[in-house]
Amino acid sequence: MGAVLASVVWSGAVAVVPRMVQGHSSAQSIHGYHAIDKICETGKLTAFRQKYKMVDNYPLEHTGRSGSMDIMRCYALMKRSVSGSDTPDYATLDIRVELHKAVDSSPEYAATRHYFEQQKYEIADVPNLGQEAYYAYGDEPTSSDKTYHDINYYLQVLDGGMTFSLYWTDNYQVGKDTTLDRDSVRRAMLDDTRDILKAIGGK
C-alpha cells in the first residue's frame, strides 16, 4: 500500500484541491540546478547506506530531459539485519527531482502539502533547506489484520523551479518487528537530501 501511495500522491493532491493548480503561471528560476544521469550514485546516499545494505541490482535510476522540464528519479530497495530476528528489515527509497522550466511549480507543491494534511499525516517544517521544505509522516494498517503497518516518510523541498521529493517506506508487525526509529530516518533523509541537492547544483 505504501509503494502505491508514492505514485498517486500528486494525482490525489490535484483531485482534492484542483483550484490550487489550475492555470499556467510564470516559471521560477531553477537557481543553478541541473539534471544529472544518476542522482543516487552521485549523491551517494551515505546516511542511509550506513544503516542499510543496498539490495543487488539497486538503485534504479532514470533521467529525462526536455525544454519544459527535466526529471531525475531514483528507486532503491534496502535491507538491514534486526537483532533477535531471522528476517531482515526491508525498506524502499524513492527520490524524484523535477526542474520546472516552463511553469511555476509552487502551486503543485502547496497542493501536495494540502493532500498530506487532509490524509492526517504529521507535518513538520524543515528550516534552512531550499526555499521551503517539510516532512510528512504516516503510519497505517496494511490489511484486515491491524497488527501489520506501513510507515511512510516524505521530505518535500521547493527551491524556485526545483521540486524534490524523498519517499521512504518501511513496515512492521505490532509487537514483533523492529524498524529504524523515526529520528534516525529523518536525519538520514535530511543528510542525503542535502548531498543530492548539492550534487545537482544546489548551495
Question: Tell me: the pLDDT tens digits for 156-194?
Answer: 999 999 999 999 999 888 887 678 889 999 999 999 999
Q: What is the per-residue DSSP string for 99-137?
A: EESSS--HHHHHHHHHHHHHTT-EEEE-TTSSSEEEEEE
Gap between the Cα atoms of 192 and 145, Å rounded: 34
**Higher pLDDT residue, 168 or 143?**
168
- Phi and psi (nearest 5°) for 90? -100, 140
Instruction: Give yes or no for residue 122 having a pLDDT over 80.
Output: yes
**pTM attached to this predicted model:** 0.85
Paired strand residues for 70: 99
Q: How many domains does the chain have?
A: 1
Distance set, CA 101 to CA 95, 170, 200 (Å): 20, 34, 15
The answer for residues whose C-beta is within 8 angstroms of residue 145's C-beta and 6 or more apart is none
Mean pLDDT of 111-117: 97
- In which residue are the cell numbers 536525519 written? 187
Lowest average pLDDT, out of 52-56, 106-110, 173-177, 191-195, goes to 173-177
Binned at pLDDT 50, 70 and 90, residue 54 comes out as very high
- Per the structure, the complete domain to which residue 91 belongs is given by 2-199
More confident site: 152 or 27:
152
The Cα 41–Cα 192 span in angstroms is 11
> How is residue 20 annotated by DSSP?
G
pLDDT at position 141, please?
A: 87
